[in-house]
Structure 1
Amino acid sequence: MEKEKNILKHLYSGDNKIKLLDQRYLPRWIVVLIDTAIAVLSFYLAYLILMGTPIKFHTVLTIFQQGIILVSVNLIFFFLFKTYSGIIRHSTFTDITKLAFSSLFTFLTVVIFNTSYELIEGNKIFLNTSLILYMLLSFSIMLLFRIGVKETYQYLRNVSSGLTKKRVAIIGVDDDTISVGKALTTESKLPFKLIGFLTQQIDSKRYKILGKPVVPIKASFSETVKELHLDGVLIVSESFSRTVKNKIVEDCLDLGIEVFNVPSMEKWNKKEDITNQIKPIEIEDLLEREEIKIDDQLIKKDISGKTVMVTGGAGSIGSEIVRQLAEFSPELIVILDQAESALHDLELYLIKNYPNLNFIIELADISNMYRLDLMFKKYSFNIVYHAAAYKHVPLIERNPHEAIYVNILGTVNLSILSLNYEIEKFVMVSTDKAVNPTNVMGASKRAAEMYVQALQNEKGVYTRFITTRFGNVLGSSGSVIPYFRKQIEEGGPVTVTHKDIIRYFMTIPEACQLVLQAGTMGRGGEIYVFDMGKPIKILDLAEKMIRLSGLEPYKDIDIEITGLRPGEKLYEELLNDVATTLPTHHPKIMISKIPAGEFLDIKTKIKTIIKTATKHEDRKVVMLLKELVPEFKSENSTFKDLDVIIESE
């Protein structure tokens, strides 16, 4: 078999004498000639079949003359329905429909002519049985010809390219999975060969869908899959809960079977090739939490017709907020960021994917009060989503003054302007690292939270200041997921800071959905905490990602424990120990009632911190942060000794 494939590769590769695969398509006149020859052959076969029966042809015209007329009529309908216009090797259902209509109208035309002639002359020219037989034979042979060319071309192409199709089964039997199965069976260029459908509905009667068997899972999923000798399985993403999906993936990984994720058909990107819709399942697809449901109508009522500003709009969180806002018909979105390249990329993306969206890109630094004031004057914002922040823990631990400029000064500037220009809502994106912070980044975000909370309690404040707080976001810049993915692609090792470290995770769309939802709920001064599900052990995450890549942890890809980074702790919290949590009408959103403190005191301390940061006096900056945020205790950091100094005072 291997020798045969090698011969075929030489015969049908691009640099050979035959060059079959290099031909773009058969010329149309050749297709017409072939179809005409098939029509002549069909009539001859019909004649041979009927000659051996008692049925006799009519003798008004000779058999030869009857054949000429019938084939000529058929030829006319070839041109009328343009049966020759499609590329044979890429024949579709439309091409087959044209053939069917051509044969049907040929039959009807000749039957009408035959009947009319009989009414006038009293005799028939054509035998109706021969017409029916001719129609069926001609259509069938032309159809087989096209199928034969299509399959032969694909086989030669696969052989020449060395492509071996993976034997796959689709899990589940419903409208979505059948649609995916149809795509697999009709798109010959896909690297998959559909073996069948797997279902838990056990039926004594075996049946087929799209010509493929529906296989019931009787004893266990593992045993059923093993018996089919599959290379992979396809899961339609919305068909299963994440718990069930995780179990399927675990079973498949144990058997060395690949798992592919497919969106439901209505979510397919029509601009993308079908090949790009079917992707290997990724760790983001296995996050053990149920999908979040939001009140679209409430958000639309809140956003529609409004002028909205998104700070940090080119970042992973900010850009997703922009994408989601685009669905709710805002009057204008002003996207602010200081990352020039990322802003440019986002602008191109929005122009292409949201051509009707009214948006403006602004390159600016939120620590520049004068620049921000000009924008607030110019645009008359209704709502501000504040997602701009420095968030990389080790980097900020080495540059505390930078965190003060962006995370604190930037927030102060935006909140003062929101107050002065009577903005309806100011929604700030915070982090779980602000709870009992162990690093400068978390402490700076907590200071920003305290400022907007306390400001809300001042008299005459029209703006509603709302804070949203969640944990790590999968796929965001600096997230561990893309970092691990890159290490795996490079052959390892994958680095984990501690074997027991755990984190809460949420996908970017989920996080942004809850930010928008919380924004509709806030009365002002709240800190909204999101249900992040169960915390995930980072070591388990690394091992699973390696296995999803088709490799074995510690064997193909090593995992190294590198030690906690400066300011890093083993686990993150979403609530203070003294905080009380109140439920909301949304099951995934809670309110943390953390005492805000006196605004005048917080304002004075923050002013001192900002002034000190401008002098790059980092140790003093951190000391002042610890005084403002008493729960801030440095861990694995050069600033840890400051905790001892504070405690001794």
Structure 2
Amino acid sequence: MQKRVRVIFLVLLDIALINLAYYLALYLRFDGKIEAQYLKVYINNALIITLLKILVFYYFKLYRSLWRYASVEELMNVVVASVVANTGVVSLLFALQTHLPRSVYAITTMLDMMLIGGARFSYRALRRLKGSELKNGNGFKRVMIIGAGDAGAMVIRELKNHTQLNSKPVAIIDDDSIKEGQRINGVPVMGQRVDISIVANKMKIDEIIIAIPSAGKGEIRKIVQECKKTKAKLKILPGIYELIDGQVSIKEIRDVQIEDLLGRDEVELNIDEISEYLKGKKVLVTGGGGSIGSELCRQIAKFKPDTLCILDIYENSAYDLQNELKSRYRDLNLKVIIASIRDKSRIDEIMKDIKPDVIFHAAAHKHVPLMEDNPKEAIKNNVFGTLNLAQAADKYGVKRFVMISTDKAVNPTNIMGASKRICEMIIQSIDKGSKTEFVAVRFGNVLGSNGSVIPLFRKQILEGGPVTVTHPEIIRYFMTIPEAAQLVIQAGAMAKGGEIFVLDMGEPVKIVDLARDLIRLSGFEPDLDIPILFTGLRQGEKLFEELLLDEEGIQSTGHDKIFIGKPIFTDYKLILKSIHTLREIIDECDSGTLKEHVQQIVPTYNICSVENTIKDPKVSCEVCASKELI
């Protein structure tokens, strides 16, 4: 109803303005003394002229635009509509064998543009003036835009149009010195990146929006580092690769996330190479409902496998992923299997039934402190489960087997890392006598994965703190879940058998810096609003992780983020004998004896004791301390 009233109002207004334009045109043409014959010509044809113009304006959708958001496009529409309408009037009067002075037509066209366009743009101007008056009170945010390109101009225009956002753009930052001192939609370009904190302080900025969707992650990270010197809340337009159609919209503006601070550009995949081993194939993902497993499934689905099988013991996560994939990939042949990799007969039954071409083995117990308290479960699931899968893959002719490993397998100081190192040994040794290509992919921490530090920090911040960090010097390597999954799939394409692929994790990050960044991104000040509490390293925890054993060496591949560590263990019979002994003692001996036997299998495993952790909470044990601090 309101829309209909608005259209009727605009039509009535245009009828008045159309006739006013002709009267003014005649008045100007004859210097205020309109000749009667021409006035009569107009009056006799006023109705049909008015109707013709209204129809043309309707055709050009002058009654459908939201004039509160009018821009240059709407102005051009008014101009073209006015020209077309007046051309139509000239043709009509010529056909009726009557006419007005030619100059009247020209003057009327210009007056139409001024009156019709002016009426509409004055509505926008009045709304903006009203919005400015509201913004001069309390409650609006003073916004700095970083980026004086098309995206920055769009953000400024949208913020000005949408007064309900309570945001007023007051400054622009751009590294192009030529733009400095210029204005975009009335907002001045006040400096370059190095001036962010100075301008923010001077202009009392409440919020900063990074509007450079074409910038790489490394560039964004540098900008964010400058923005962190201010107390303003940070927001960002996502990168072009994140936008569905590459088009920027005000709706896409989101908070800066911790992933934006990694400074890692998107992974470049060899699509042909990956398609060759995934397209039209049967692919099984164990631990498919977990953080890495589920993302592997999402990425694999893009390559149109013949069948994608999700295997997980936890039904809820598998069910959620099933619904998501069915919704996004309607043609995907998807199977969900609820099973434990510990159950050898069940795994054998699944392999016999499915006969997968490719297996991504992501199922594992991974939480270091929990596994230190439950070492037998770590061995049962990680070691025995991996052996069950590897032997079944060999038995049923799986072409490729890719196991997800961890940097904690290198010189491990905890049972979880030691168990994953045994898994690597299984993979490398069974590969030697198998037609299946067995490989492992080793990488560090994944941002936002289940049980990782980021969800914990977010929960602690929501609760008002403190944010707990084990040690001020502890560092870790991080990558995003999609990046990890993509690189695992790419590494799988390179597999020839027996390799341990090592992913380039970039620069290590101090956990305490990560905590401070997340507190700032949440709108708080570290140590003032949200305290940081150092709790001491937990049992089995190292100050830093390593990605390679000394004797493994490193070899580059065709991908700049994937490297190969050479095999250093290939005695399959020996590892089977050691695992057989593990099976015998696991239910009869205590955890200490179990760890000692694991240490015999993995000589680089340093067993840390709770007593040493309590004695000095800065290190996990004397052995690790002497090694890590060198």
The one-letter amino acid of 1:396's match is M
1:129 has 2:110 as partner: no
Q: 1:107 to 1:195 in 2, by over 3 A?
A: farther
- Contact 1:158–1:164 (Cα < 8 Å) also in 2: yes
- Contact 2:283–2:358 (Cα < 8 Å) also in 1: yes
Q: CA deviation at 1:78?
A: 5.1
- Aligned equivalents of 1:147 and 1:123: distance in 2? 35
Write the mapping of 1:320-339 to structure 2, written as runs, cut at 5 A.
320-339=295-314
The answer for the alignment partner of 2:361 in structure 1 is 386
Q: 1:63 to 1:206 in 2, by over 3 A?
A: farther
- Aligned equivalents of 1:91 and 1:194: distance in 2? 18
- Aligned equivalents of 1:241 and 1:524: distance in 2? 34
The answer for the alignment partner of 1:420 in structure 2 is 395
CA-to-aligned-CA distance 1:385-417 (integer Å, 9 cap, x gap): 111111011111111222122211211111111
| Structure 2 runs not aligned, ≥5 long | 614-620, 623-630
1:298 has 2:250 as partner: no
TM (normalized to structure 2)?
0.87
- Aligned equivalents of 2:310 and 2:284: distance in 1? 6
Write the mapping of 1:465-614 to structure 2, written as runs, cut at 5 A.
465-613=438-586
- Contact 1:422–1:463 (Cα < 8 Å) also in 2: yes
Deviates more, 1:306-315 or 1:351-360: 351-360
1:355 has 2:293 as partner: no
Choose which of 27, 34, 49 in structure 2 pairs with 1:70: 49
- Aligned equivalents of 1:414 and 1:439: distance in 2? 24
- Aligned equivalents of 1:277 and 1:123: distance in 2? 53
- Contact 2:194–2:226 (Cα < 8 Å) also in 1: no
The answer for the alignment partner of 2:343 in structure 1 is 368
1:144 has 2:144 as partner: no
The one-letter amino acid of 2:19's match is F
- Contact 1:242–1:289 (Cα < 8 Å) also in 2: yes
The one-letter amino acid of 1:538's match is I
Q: 1:89 to 1:276 in 2, by over 3 A?
A: closer
- What is the percent sequence identity of the aligned residues? 35
SS in structure 2 at match of 1:59: helix
Choose which of 409, 425, 436 in structure 2 pairs with 1:463: 436
- Aligned equivalents of 2:195 and 2:572: distance in 1? 62
The answer for the alignment partner of 2:12 in structure 1 is 36
Write the mapping of 1:189-200 to structure 2, written as runs, cut at 5 A.
190=165, 192-195=167-170, 197-200=172-175
- Contact 1:314–1:337 (Cα < 8 Å) also in 2: yes
The answer for the alignment partner of 1:286 in structure 2 is 261
1:171 has 2:134 as partner: no
Write the mapping of 1:204-243 to structure 2, written as runs, cut at 5 A.
207-209=182-184, 212-217=187-192, 220-236=195-211, 239-240=214-215, 242=217
- Aligned equivalents of 1:236 and 1:372: distance in 2? 51
The one-letter amino acid of 1:590's match is F
Q: CA deviation at 1:26?
A: 1.7
The one-letter amino acid of 1:31's match is V
The one-letter amino acid of 1:336's match is L
SS in structure 1 at match of 2:113: helix
CA-to-aligned-CA distance 1:96-118 (integer Å, 9 cap, x gap): 7776665444323212112333x
- Aligned equivalents of 2:612 and 2:420: distance in 1? 18
Write the mapping of 1:75-90 to structure 2, written as runs, cut at 5 A.
75-77=54-56, 80=59, 83-85=62-64
- Aligned equivalents of 1:171 and 1:154: distance in 2? 25
Deviates more, 1:501-510 or 1:243-252: 243-252
CA-to-aligned-CA distance 1:554-600 (integer Å, 9 cap, x gap): 22111111111122121111111333222222222221124114211
Choose which of 345, 349, 358 in structure 1 pairs with 2:320: 345
- Aligned equivalents of 2:329 and 2:610: distance in 1? 45
- Aligned equivalents of 1:312 and 1:133: distance in 2? 71
CA-to-aligned-CA distance 1:454-510 (integer Å, 9 cap, x gap): 11122xx11000100011111111111121121112110011111221111111122
Q: 1:341 to 1:154 in 2, by over 3 A?
A: farther
- Aligned equivalents of 1:298 and 1:146: distance in 2? 58
Q: CA deviation at 1:449?
A: 0.8
The answer for the alignment partner of 1:399 in structure 2 is 374
The answer for the alignment partner of 2:618 in structure 1 is none
Q: 1:307 to 1:272 in 2, by over 3 A?
A: farther
- Aligned equivalents of 1:571 and 1:180: distance in 2? 42
- Aligned equivalents of 2:135 and 2:19: distance in 1? 36
Q: 1:313 to 1:181 in 2, by over 3 A?
A: farther
- Aligned equivalents of 1:604 and 1:277: distance in 2? 57
| Structure 1 runs not aligned, ≥5 long | 1-24, 645-649
The one-letter amino acid of 1:466's match is V
Choose which of 86, 91, 112 in structure 2 pairs with 1:112: 91
- Aligned equivalents of 1:429 and 1:266: distance in 2? 27
Q: CA deviation at 1:420?
A: 0.9
- Contact 2:67–2:121 (Cα < 8 Å) also in 1: no
Q: CA deviation at 1:300?
A: 2.0
SS in structure 1 at match of 2:428: helix
Q: CA deviation at 1:179?
A: 5.3
Q: CA deviation at 1:90?
A: 6.8
- Aligned equivalents of 1:50 and 1:38: distance in 2? 18
Q: 1:445 to 1:40 in 2, by over 3 A?
A: same
Q: 1:276 to 1:322 in 2, by over 3 A?
A: farther
1:411 has 2:390 as partner: no
The one-letter amino acid of 1:407's match is N
Q: CA deviation at 1:619?
A: 3.7
TM (normalized to structure 1)?
0.84
- Aligned equivalents of 1:627 and 1:122: distance in 2? 107
The one-letter amino acid of 2:95's match is S
- Aligned equivalents of 2:456 and 2:551: distance in 1? 35
Q: CA deviation at 1:442?
A: 0.7
Q: 1:486 to 1:299 in 2, by over 3 A?
A: same
- Aligned equivalents of 2:337 and 2:171: distance in 1? 53
The answer for the alignment partner of 2:617 in structure 1 is none
- Contact 2:180–2:190 (Cα < 8 Å) also in 1: no
CA-to-aligned-CA distance 1:22-45 (integer Å, 9 cap, x gap): xxx624145223332243135325
- Contact 1:167–1:195 (Cα < 8 Å) also in 2: yes
- Aligned equivalents of 2:432 and 2:513: distance in 1? 44
The one-letter amino acid of 1:556's match is D
CA-to-aligned-CA distance 1:605-643 (integer Å, 9 cap, x gap): 112323443568534432321221122112244799xx9
Q: 1:348 to 1:579 in 2, by over 3 A?
A: same
The answer for the alignment partner of 1:631 in structure 2 is 604
When the two structures are aligned, how many residues end up with a matched partner?
612
- Aligned equivalents of 2:604 and 2:570: distance in 1? 14
CA-to-aligned-CA distance 1:232-278 (integer Å, 9 cap, x gap): 33224654455543443333232322221221345324799956521
SS in structure 2 at match of 1:255: coil
- Contact 1:471–1:503 (Cα < 8 Å) also in 2: yes
- Aligned equivalents of 1:504 and 1:365: distance in 2? 30
SS in structure 2 at match of 1:476: coil
- Aligned equivalents of 1:125 and 1:553: distance in 2? 74
Deviates more, 1:435-444 or 1:48-57: 48-57
- Contact 2:219–2:263 (Cα < 8 Å) also in 1: no
Q: CA deviation at 1:418?
A: 0.8
- Aligned equivalents of 2:275 and 2:185: distance in 1? 42
